[in-house]
Amino acid sequence: MTIAAMIASNDPSIIDDLLRLAAAADVETELVRDADTARQSWHWPSLILVGNDLAEAVTTKAPPRRPGVVMVARTDDTEDLYRRAIKVGAQDVARLPDDETWLIDALASAAEPADGWGGTVCVMGARGGAGASVLSAALGLTAARTGLRTLLIDGDPIGGGLDIVLGLEDQPGARWPHFADRRGRLSAANLYEALPRLGDLSVLSWVRETPTPVTREAVQSLLDAAARAFDLVLVDVPRHQGEIGRSALHVADAILLLVPAEVRATMAADGLVAALRNDVTDMRLVVSGHSPVGGITPEVMAQALDLPLAGVVDHERKIAASLDEGGIARALRRGHLADLCERLLPTFNLQPHTQEAQAA
């Protein structure tokens, strides 16, 4: 087991608690009890936990600014706490015992391999009912069948629910409300184990109740962990994006924009395309359905929107019938949509590397 974290403290109660939490996270740590030794080892650990008792002394050694520094204090420690944290270069302050769960996750994350980063693809409809959720599910199922560890994220808190589309609504596992107030780094391994899944396809959706607001910090933490845990992260982004959609578009490697084969839908998509160009350079058009004879063609739509044409999605009766029964996985094994997904996946240049990294 590689040493991933350093504990810098001379307070017996802080030391005992942090060593106990490190054992719970199955992480090897180095314990240093003085500022000089802490300064000498400041560069190498992924995570540095500085006890409140040693923070002033460490500050006098002028350690360089770096990520992964957390100051740890008792809940009743209030005097100059945040001033000390800023001076020592800490990005977070953790209080014992209140933040024990957060610290376990931070320790577990520190032990994860630094290499291995999955691709993030957003799927978005130019209007409601364009079929973005079905395309997202189809891509996820196709990717999982090829051996890619895949996460499908439902970005719409008031939508129909991607877990229902896949027949996973009764399967136990974490949903968005479990992560709504999350702060700090989330363990990739813990995220993977927490979610309901169908084979190699994991799903993060919602619960059937009043939508729970999700903070921007929670979304960013989850997307970061998802990129470390999975080979492919697919985000079904609603037209009214919210925190999840905005954060996902910001980190996306590619966007698939689904536009119905209609003149009005194409005109409406033009403004959306202009806004999305600020977020990602790889944006592709997927046309939904076919226009009547003499109507607009996919090629004309691509030219009007100045986007590469990734493909056309035909309406398939078997898929529409399967949605209410949660049997879309079977319906997508063959057909036009399955063929499109099989053509699209290789263009994202994904590598199934995270399974090996998780086992390291």
pLDDT digits (tens, 9 = 90+) for 59-104: 999 999 888 899 999 988 877 888 999 999 998 899 999 999 889 8
pLDDT at 333 over 90: no
What does the pLDDT read at residue 115?
54
What does the pLDDT read at residue 359?
36
Average pLDDT over residues 169-187: 85
CA dihedral 275, 277, 282, 288 (to 10 degrees): 30
Residues 14-24: tens digit of each pLDDT: 999 999 999 98
pLDDT at 35 over 90: yes
Output the 3-class SS for the chain: CCEEEEEECCCHHHHHHHHHHHHHCCCEEEEECCHHHHHHCCCCCCEEEEECCCHHHHHHCCCCCCCCEEEEEECCCCCCHHHHHHHHCCCEEEEECCCHHHHHHHHHHHCCCCCCCCEEEEEEECCCCCCHHHHHHHHHHHHHHCCCCEEEEECCCCCCCHHHHCCCCCCCCCCHHHHCCCCCCCCHHHHHHHCCEECCEEEECCCCCCCCCCCHHHHHHHHHHHHHHCCEEEEEECCCCHHHHHHHHHHCCEEEEEEECCHHHHHHHHHHHHHHCCCCCCEEEEEECCCCCCCCCHHHHHHHHCCCEEEEECCCHHHHHHHCCCCHHHHCCCCHHHHHHHHHHHHHCCCCCHHHHHHC
**Percent with pLDDT over 90 in the chain:** 48
| Alpha carbons 5 and 324: distance in angstroms, whole number | 49
What does the pLDDT read at residue 305?
95
What does the pLDDT read at residue 360?
35
What does the pLDDT read at residue 321?
54
| Alpha carbons 81 and 61: distance in angstroms, whole number | 19
| Alpha carbons 314 and 311: distance in angstroms, whole number | 10
| Total Cβ atoms within 10 A of residue 198 | 18
What does the pLDDT read at residue 325?
58
CATH class of 119-359: alpha beta
Both tokens of 245, joined, read 């959609």
Task: For domain 3-110, give its CATH number from 3.30.70.260, 1.10.540.10, 3.40.50.720, 3.40.50.2300.
Answer: 3.40.50.2300
Both tokens of 71, joined, read 């100051």
What does the pLDDT read at residue 121?
95
| Total Cβ atoms within 10 A of residue 233 | 28
Cis, peptide link before residue 97, omega less than 30° from 0: yes
| Total Cβ atoms within 10 A of residue 78 | 10
Query: For the chain, which residues make up each domain, given as ranges?
Result: 3-110, 119-359
What does the pLDDT read at residue 236?
95
Does the fold of domain 119-359 match that of domain 3-110? Answer: yes
Q: Which residues contact 199 (CB under 8 A, 6 or more apart)?
A: 144, 145
What does the pLDDT read at residue 158?
83
Band of pLDDT at residue 311, cut at 50, 70 and 90: very high
